[in-house]
Chains A and B, each alone.
Chain A
Amino acid sequence: MTTLEPLIERCRELVDDLELTSVKHWKAAHPRGIAIGYLPIYAPREIVHAAGGLPVGVVGAGEELEIVRGDACFQSYICHLPRSVIELALTGRLDVLEGMIFPSTCDVIRNLSGIWKLSFPGKWVHYLDLPQNFEPELGGVFYRRILLEMYSELCAFTGQQPDLERLRASIALFNENRRLVSQLYAARAAEPWKFGALESYLVLRAGLVLPVEEHSAILREYLAGCALRETRPLDNARIALRGAFCEQPPLALIQTLERAGCYVVEDDFLPMLRWPEGDVSEQGDPLGALVSAWLDTPCEAASRYVKDVDQKGCTLVASTRQTKAEGVIFATPSFCDPALLDRPMMQAALTKAGIAFTSFKYAENTGQMQPIREQAGTFADSIKLWGEA
């Protein structure tokens, strides 16, 4: 029987390493390569990769980093993620990155792009305005221009010419990675007792700092190793977790949910690894394929406009049913406007569908887990005692 401990330990080290040592190693091995950071929740990593760069997900600093300078940049009522990201930058931990992509996730991340311009004038900063109009001739044309501009600028960094063949090859690599991520989610939903929520999170999150090929290899190894486990199922409640798509919960929180008797069979952590849903076409114009993938993806998040009122919450209900989750936990970062404003609508959709839910807030550095354990445990118990399943 194989042991996954070394692999999980390595992923844990990558997640904990705020110095981005693995990125530094990659750059040492690729002298002409560039490392480009991107914030949640989605950036087309294929573009960075095709330009000869390493896309690096920057999702905050968790509970380990003491925030000193970051708190001097943000008022108490702003969420925690930007203060830890700026802390990382001001303490030189992000110096290894030549540039940053700030997707149009919310006003805070949007304004963080401006802070970056003011604070790091020599760095490449790209505000990625993802279209909220999903018509190909409108939002599609607008988005294609943005992608082309981004690709050209990144190629200028690495001294390459934009090459659509290379971009197509990058798409293929990320398609493979997304398929493996999907397999992991599907396998965990099928047999959650074999896939710990925390360890699978670590395995996924390692993908934020690793080259895509290496991350895909880790996913393969993890999937194969877990399949061989002979863990017995526990009488846990199957829950879907929602709201943690940007600022990530402390690792202890995920562990707490497990200890409270929950199998996390679905979550919205790290959407950048899962979006767009399904393969990006590897035929025809690769820029057009990335555009179509964004316009057509059924992925729903609080920062993406849902055109049809009757579709609001449908993907949450569908994924809850598909993964046979017995209830939904809304775990939302404090002061996260998109998630917190979205929550009543999501809850209404769940109520209509007869799906139980509970909710709490966290920050990436939340230290006190007992109240969360009690709440999640009570929710899990209520599902087991009074749920229909």
Chain B
Amino acid sequence: MKPTIAKEPSMLRQKDMVAGHYHKLGTAAERGQKVAYTFVPGNLTELMLSFDLLPVYPEINALQNAMRKLSGDYIAEAERAGHSEDVCTYVKCDIGMMLKGNTGPTGEKMPPPDVLLLSYTGCFTFMKWFELLREKYRCPTAMLHVPYMPDGVVTKESRDYVVKQLKDVIIPALEKSSGKKYDEERLREMLKLSAKAEDDLVTVLESAKHRPSPIDSYFGGVYYIGPLFTAFRGTQDAVDYYRELREEVEGRMQRGEGPITPEGQVSDERFRLVVEGPPNWTHFREFWKMFHDEGAVVVASTYTKVGGLYDRGFRHDPDRPLESLAEYCLGCYTNLGLPRRVELISEYIRDYQADGFVINSVKSCDSFSSGQLVMLREIEKRTGLAGAFIETDLVDPRYFSPANVRTRLESYFQMLAQKREGALAR
């Protein structure tokens, strides 16, 4: 008999939302709806939705395919077509899916893009990715150059540069692709809804400061950020989802309950951790179980900030629509310099009273991974806590070695337990 997977009601709601979105995409052509492909970090979802453009996020397709065990074949297909084994597997999964007929993760055919909105926040690979897709689809590409913030502070000059590009390049391109005029009032309304949902997301994420934490902010966190980081930001659906999620989490917190995992509820929170880096998607459940088995709960993570540092005060602002969209693009986690990333993780460790931190270094993502070993040592120095370093990949099943990952994690948890016992003995 297939084991039952524990799910929160909000997860079921989200599942329906995602399925609905893929169905909309599958039927976009027959309904005459235009489609824009774009990337998650620094996305301009409200702006696209204000033109009635239906967004597609290729990274989301890739990770959904990985969770459904489809990514290995797609990557192999891309490599057969000449793509190097060394490069980002999100890209190859997407290219492979395209080469194999562009059937989306839910089995419905993905529509070709009417426009590629290339806002390459925090990742150079995005640029190459859409250059590759552009070769295939031959559709218009709107490029938004989002400057990197090496000091971790969004500067006025960079914001002005992005705003001017939005006005002069992006909006005209979206007007042309959608056949609709820019409607700032509509955008403001959407941004109002975004801010409401963002408030609730922050409450959910910060609930992990409570002991025991009612959420897992990494494995569970990827579900919590899903709607807000993708196609639903700026919609009533997202507002409703986050209200329900918030109530659910607050309920668990009041009852003193731990997070829900696929294996059931965590009833004994042994370790509180901060995690840096994206999760592995091909063995997501197995990976999560390694933490669950040890009573390890992730109380804060950086991956849940790739689509915005809402917990540091950012909100989409209907009174400054383009300015706040620009600040959003500029302020996403991977667009910030390493010193700020180190500072943020150190703050999380302190604010969430973490026992330690884990860096999941993924082969595919230089933007995240390059420099993480230096970050590890710097965070250890600043916090006095030892960190764990594990290596996996995003969507390439060949790079997830369960035995190695488990051994490293188990050793780390043993070390944390011994340190705790030693401290108690003293």
Task: Indicate if the CB atoms of A115 and B369 lie closer than 8 Å.
Answer: no
| Stretch of B104-112, B129-137, B249-257 that contacts chain A | B129-137
Collect the chain A residues with CB atoms within 8 Å of residue B161's CB.
Answer: 138, 141-142
Would you give the shortest CB distance from A228 to chain B, in whole angstroms?
44
Residue of A nearest to B81 (CB): A344
Check: B421 CB closer than 8 A to any chain A CB.
Answer: no
Task: Indicate if the CB atoms of B148 and A104 lie closer than 8 Å.
Answer: yes
Bound CA–CA A332/B84 (angstroms): 11
Check: B91 CB closer than 8 A to any chain A CB.
Answer: yes
B87, B134, B164: the one contacting A337 at CB < 8 Å is B87
Check: B30 CB closer than 8 A to any chain A CB.
Answer: no
Known contacts A110-B148, A114-B150, A345-B131: does B125 contact A337 (CB below 8 Å)? yes
> What does DSSP make chain A's interface, helix, strand, loop or mixed?
helix
Collect the chain A residues with CB atoms within 8 Å of residue B165's CB.
Answer: 133, 138
Collect the chain B residues with CB atoms within 8 Å of residue A342's CB.
Answer: 128, 131
Collect the chain A residues with CB atoms within 8 Å of residue B342's CB.
Answer: 118
Task: Indicate if the CB atoms of B371 and A337 lie closer than 8 Å.
Answer: no
Check: A288 CB closer than 8 A to any chain B CB.
Answer: no
Task: Indicate if the CB atoms of B132 and A111 lie closer than 8 Å.
Answer: no
| Interface bits A123-144 vs B (CB < 8 Å: 1, else 0) | 0010101011101011101100
Collect the chain A residues with CB atoms within 8 Å of residue B337's CB.
Answer: 113-114, 117, 127
Would you give the shortest CB distance from B139 to chain A, in whole angstroms?
9
Task: Indicate if the CB atoms of B135 and A112 lie closer than 8 Å.
Answer: no
Check: B143 CB closer than 8 A to any chain A CB.
Answer: yes
Check: A386 CB closer than 8 A to any chain B CB.
Answer: no
| Stretch of B67-75, B300-308, B310-318, B359-367 that contacts chain A | B359-367
Check: A335 CB closer than 8 A to any chain B CB.
Answer: yes
| Interface bits B143-163 vs A (CB < 8 Å: 1, else 0) | 101011010000001100100
Bound CA–CA A253/B148 (angstroms): 35
| Stretch of A51-59, A179-187, A275-283, A301-309 that contacts chain B | A301-309
Bound CA–CA A127/B150 (angstroms): 7
Residue of B nearest to A131 (CB): B145
Bound CA–CA A73/B361 (angstroms): 13
Known contacts A306-B131, A341-B132, A344-B132: does B374 contact A335 (CB below 8 Å)? no
Task: Indicate if the CB atoms of B374 and A118 lie closer than 8 Å.
Answer: yes
Interface residues of A in 251-305 (CB under 8 A from B): 302-303, 305
Collect the chain A residues with CB atoms within 8 Å of residue B339's CB.
Answer: 114, 117-118
Would you give the shortest CB distance from B243 to chain A, in whole angstroms?
37
Task: Indicate if the CB atoms of A133 and B143 lie closer than 8 Å.
Answer: yes
Known contacts A74-B370, A78-B366, A107-B125: does B88 contact A337 (CB below 8 Å)? yes
Would you give the shortest CB distance from B213 to chain A, in whole angstroms?
30
Check: B415 CB closer than 8 A to any chain A CB.
Answer: no
> What does DSSP make chain B's interface, helix, strand, loop or mixed?
helix
Residue of B nearest to A139 (CB): B145
B135, B143, B169: the one contacting A348 at CB < 8 Å is B135
Would you give the shortest CB distance from A150 to chain B, in whole angstroms?
13
Bound CA–CA A341/B364 (angstroms): 12
Task: Indicate if the CB atoms of B373 and A74 lie closer than 8 Å.
Answer: yes
Collect the chain A residues with CB atoms within 8 Å of residue B135's CB.
Answer: 309, 312, 345, 348
| Interface bits A333-351 vs B (CB < 8 Å: 1, else 0) | 0111110111111011000
Collect the chain B residues with CB atoms within 8 Å of residue A145's CB.
Answer: 157
Residue of A nearest to B83 (CB): A344
Check: A72 CB closer than 8 A to any chain B CB.
Answer: yes
| Interface bits B360-397 vs A (CB < 8 Å: 1, else 0) | 01010011011111110010000000000001000000
Interface residues of B in 86-111 (CB under 8 A from A): 86-88, 91
Would you give the shortest CB distance from A300 to chain B, in whole angstroms?
12
Q: How many residues of A contact B (CB 8 A)?
A: 55
Bound CA–CA A115/B147 (angstroms): 19
Collect the chain B residues with CB atoms within 8 Å of residue A137's CB.
Answer: 164, 168
Residue of A nearest to B371 (CB): A111
Task: Indicate if the CB atoms of A138 and B164 lie closer than 8 Å.
Answer: yes
Task: Indicate if the CB atoms of B366 and A340 lie closer than 8 Å.
Answer: no
Check: B231 CB closer than 8 A to any chain A CB.
Answer: no
Check: A44 CB closer than 8 A to any chain B CB.
Answer: no
Check: A108 CB closer than 8 A to any chain B CB.
Answer: yes
| Interface bits B321-344 vs A (CB < 8 Å: 1, else 0) | 000000000000000011101100
Check: A160 CB closer than 8 A to any chain B CB.
Answer: no
Check: A75 CB closer than 8 A to any chain B CB.
Answer: yes
Task: Indicate if the CB atoms of B147 and A142 lie closer than 8 Å.
Answer: yes
From B88, B127, B341, residue with most partner A Cβ within 10 Å = B127
Task: Indicate if the CB atoms of A138 and B168 lie closer than 8 Å.
Answer: yes
Bound CA–CA A76/B370 (angstroms): 10
Would you give the shortest CB distance from B94 to chain A, in whole angstroms?
12
Bound CA–CA A107/B375 (angstroms): 15
Known contacts A111-B366, A118-B338, A133-B165: does B86 contact A77 (CB below 8 Å)? yes
Residue of B nearest to A343 (CB): B84
Interface residues of A in 321-371 (CB under 8 A from B): 332, 334-338, 340-345, 347-348, 361
Collect the chain A residues with CB atoms within 8 Å of residue B129's CB.
Answer: 341
A108, A117, A312: the one contacting B366 at CB < 8 Å is A108
Check: A106 CB closer than 8 A to any chain B CB.
Answer: yes
Check: A319 CB closer than 8 A to any chain B CB.
Answer: no
Check: B32 CB closer than 8 A to any chain A CB.
Answer: no
Would you give the shortest CB distance from A112 to chain B, in whole angstroms?
7
Check: A82 CB closer than 8 A to any chain B CB.
Answer: yes
Collect the chain A residues with CB atoms within 8 Å of residue B164's CB.
Answer: 137-138, 141
Would you give the shortest CB distance from A128 to chain B, in whole angstroms?
10
Collect the chain B residues with CB atoms within 8 Å of residue A348's CB.
Answer: 135
Bound CA–CA A241/B134 (angstroms): 25
Task: Indicate if the CB atoms of B87 and A309 lie closer than 8 Å.
Answer: no
Would you give the shortest CB distance from A274 to chain B, in whole angstroms?
21
Task: Indicate if the CB atoms of B147 and A138 lie closer than 8 Å.
Answer: no
Check: A22 CB closer than 8 A to any chain B CB.
Answer: no
Collect the chain B residues with CB atoms within 8 Å of residue A334's CB.
Answer: 86
Check: B290 CB closer than 8 A to any chain A CB.
Answer: no
B128, B169, B371, B372: the one contacting A133 at CB < 8 Å is B169
Known contacts A111-B338, A118-B342, A305-B143: does B84 contact A127 (CB below 8 Å)? no
B87, B132, B168, B341: the one contacting A345 at CB < 8 Å is B132
Check: A382 CB closer than 8 A to any chain B CB.
Answer: no
Bound CA–CA A117/B143 (angstroms): 30
| Interface bits B162-186 vs A (CB < 8 Å: 1, else 0) | 0011001100000000000000000
Q: List the 10 closest A-B pairs by CB distance, nearest first.
A: A114-B338, A341-B128, A107-B366, A340-B84, A111-B371, A127-B150, A132-B145, A107-B367, A111-B370, A142-B161
For the A-B complex with A72-B373, A78-B366 known, give 6 more contacts whose Cβ atoms are closer than 8 Å: A107-B124, A107-B366, A117-B337, A125-B150, A142-B145, A348-B135
28 contacts between A and B (CB under 8 A): A74-B373, A75-B363, A110-B367, A111-B366, A111-B371, A113-B150, A113-B337, A117-B337, A118-B375, A129-B147, A131-B145, A132-B120, A132-B145, A133-B169, A137-B168, A138-B161, A305-B127, A305-B143, A309-B135, A312-B131, A334-B86, A337-B88, A338-B128, A340-B86, A341-B84, A341-B129, A343-B84, A344-B82
